[in-house]
Structure 1
Amino acid sequence: MKAGSTVLVTGGSSGLGAAVVTAVAVAGGRPLVLDRQPPADGVPWVECDLADTRAAEAATRTLAERSGGLDAVVTAAGMDVPGRLADVPGETWDRIVAVDLLATAAVIRAALPFLEASGGRVVTVASTLGVKAVSDATAYCAAKFGVVGFTRALAAETAGTINVTLLIPGGMRTAFFDHRDPQYKPGPDAILNDPTDTANAIMFALTQPPGCAIRELTVCAEQETSYP
């Protein structure tokens, strides 16, 4: 990633997304954000409910056109509501898959013409639960397994045109767990990564020289229980 590069970050107002926005700005890039909440002051953004995939496409095009193009996209937005399949309302289950998987594809689909023009880069954010299945996470696992498959196929499809990286992060110290039922929250002794460290891994992928692809990165706490 060159100084001045324009990087679109979904979910860039909190958690990993906010850490990526900061890292891009520190590196001399221009972060842009799609989110339901405003990002840090001064960061250009469009308010968007990513569960509405057509709206996500339109918002992506709006930001790209306003900014004169895109050099990279990082799909950091994500959500989960754990629970048994029979206990999670259908609307909630569908929304998890829409935000975590379908919006990932929608944003990248809309960004492709801009990324092809710039020879740009994509980093998708899956999860260690995209490679390991656990109980009470059918929607999240379905979505994140889908992100893994989608990204691998995208990398094959766009090889030589854009550079695609799949990030597989473990748990991080963010607000991601705040609104869960107590039984699904990490315990006080849980070992979680700092999102800044995961953002630095994303920057590593974004700053590789032309022709060098970091296809997949797994970044987690040293004692992550959901990997391998």
Structure 2
Amino acid sequence: MARGCPFTKKTKRAPKKSATSITGDGENNVVPKMAPKKIRKPRDENQWKITDFYEVRKSGRKTEKQLQDEAQKAVAEKVLKGSNEELLQVFHDADKGRCICSTVNFQKDEFVIEYKGEMMEYAEAKKAEDRYKENPTIGSYMYFFEHKGKRWCVDATKETIYKGRLINHSIRKPNLKTKVIDIDEAHHLILIATREIIVGEELLYDYGDRSSDVVAENPWLRDS
């Protein structure tokens, strides 16, 4: 006789009752169970967050515009205070007379000194130039330039303590160039480095005047 599976007696399961709320006094009333409410415990005094020790810092990176504004402000302050005057030194050359050298290193495009003198309009400056020509002992310390469509001149003929007026000309080996900047609605003629300048190096820039009459009177403008 084949052996079959062992007999298992089946029992009937009672149907599940739905969890509904029934009012009344019946014995079979079912009351739904409510989930226990979570109670937030106060933070233990020994528990800390990272922000309790370190502040949330904003990015300190400055925009290019901010860096440019700061650089311009720094140059303006140096110009108005004349603080770079002490960085330059006067020395004497047998051929050129008074010369200016640097006592510090300057980087390319760095502000070096202001060409400081009396700022005047072109017509007034030409009259002053004619007066100076009457006295051969007076050197040429006038710098003519154009700014915002108008011609100007810095007249540094008068002897002063400012060293920019003593910087010599070179068309061949200049290490400075002129630039006009505006500070508080006034413009200033400054000299900036065209390359790296080292300690002890003579400062030179191209005076820029190529007119035939001026070159005829000052041939060194072409040859130096």
TM-score bracket for the superposition, by shorter chain length: under 0.3
Relative to its length, the structure with more helix (as a share) is: 1
What TM-score results when the alignment is normalised by the length of structure 1? 0.25
Larger Rg: 2
Relative to its length, the structure with more strand (as a share) is: 2
What TM-score results when the alignment is normalised by the length of structure 2? 0.25
